[in-house]
Structure 1
Amino acid sequence: MKLILSFLTTFIFFFQTDLEALRNSYAKANQSSENTRSFISIAEKQSGSDPVTNGYKAAAQIMEAKITTEKGKRKSFVKTGATTLENLVKNNPNNIELRLIRLSVQENIPKIVGYRGGLKEDKAFILNNYNKQSTALKNYIKKFAVQSKTFTVTDKASLK
């Protein structure tokens, strides 16, 4: 029994580490092309199939359009990543981290792309469900909100 518990604890620890690495890398991805490449690399190496991991992978695909030199592939990267992300949110409508990923992608993608439909909905969902989240996820949301253009000063103050 102790052996099974040890394996389970180890598995959970490694899963958390991977998720934390994704979160940390994603938070820095827009700062430079090198950070974007690093995030894409970390996301591609993830073997998890949970919705949040797949959400980060979809965001990485969208970000790949930003750094690719092949102009014909940019539209394809955005379309594939956005479709995947939309399906993940649709199938997991109560997952606040997926909503945060989609909000951050839509907030940072050029307006001309036209992928901005969920900003208000995601912001409202995040604000309404913030208090139900783990401490680690609350801290992650707060860090995002501080630099976000979508969250107002009042919104940011409500995230305690």
Structure 2
Amino acid sequence: MRAAYKYAAQDSSKIETLYNDLEGVTKADSVELVAYKGAIVALMARSAKSIKGKKEGFLDGVGLVEYAVDKDSSNIEVRFVRLSIQQNVPKFLRYNDAIENDKAFILENFNGITSRSLKSHIADYVSHSKHFTDEEKARMIGL
């Protein structure tokens, strides 16, 4: 899922495939899957034909991400998914109020991640992000 999300975020042709893969995910599933589904729903909204469709799709996706965060706010992967969305959506969408909080949470908890895959996934994002300072990158991943 992590790799698929990364590639979908970078290549719009992969968004629909991942959207279809996550179609059956509900709020009863793991918060990580709900967060990724929300992120993909929000990304799919970009291709909606109308402004109303774009807005509704984005809000539906964000609603799923926020549900996942509310359900488990100490889950670093869920917080990372929200951060990756908030740092990359246009400011006029006004979905950026948790950036500093999520970023601080990730910086504080990064070294405690036990999953090598998750740690690598977040480190790769951070290393390419213009939203993390060189000092923060160095502190997290030794760049």
In structure 2, distance between residues paired with 1:128 and 1:70: 40
**Which residue identity is paired with 1:153?**
D
In structure 2, distance between residues paired with 1:92 and 1:143: 23
Please report the TM-score for the alignment, with normalisation by the length of structure 1.
0.80
In structure 2, distance between residues paired with 1:57 and 1:85: 8
**Which residue identity is paired with 1:144?**
Y
Question: Bigger shift: 126-135 or 36-45?
Answer: 36-45
Runs of 5+ unmatched residues, structure 2: none
Q: Which is helix-richer, 1 or 2?
A: 1
**Offset, 1:45:** 5.1
In structure 2, distance between residues paired with 1:41 and 1:149: 30
Alignment match, 1:32: 11
Bigger CA radius of gyration:
1
Question: Bigger shift: 27-36 or 73-82?
Answer: 27-36
* 1:102 correspondence with 2:82: yes
Alignment match, 1:8: none
Alignment match, 2:136: 155
Q: Report which structure shows greater RCO (CA 8 Å, sep ≥6).
A: 2
In structure 2, distance between residues paired with 1:59 and 1:76: 14
* 1:124 correspondence with 2:120: no
Q: Deviations over 1:68-122 (max 9, x none)?
A: 2233211111112112211211221100000100000011111111000111000
Q: Deviations over 1:11-51 (max 9, x none)?
A: xxxxxxxxxxx111111123232022233223225577000
Q: Which runs of 4+ in 1 moved over 3 A?
A: 45-48
Conservation of the 8 A alpha-carbon contact between 1:25 and 1:38: no
Partner of 1:83, secondary structure, is: helix
Q: Percent identity?
A: 31
Alignment match, 1:65: 45
Alignment match, 1:11: none
Runs of 5+ unmatched residues, structure 1: 1-21
Instruction: State the number of aligned residues.
Output: 139
Q: State the superposition RMSD in angstroms.
A: 1.7
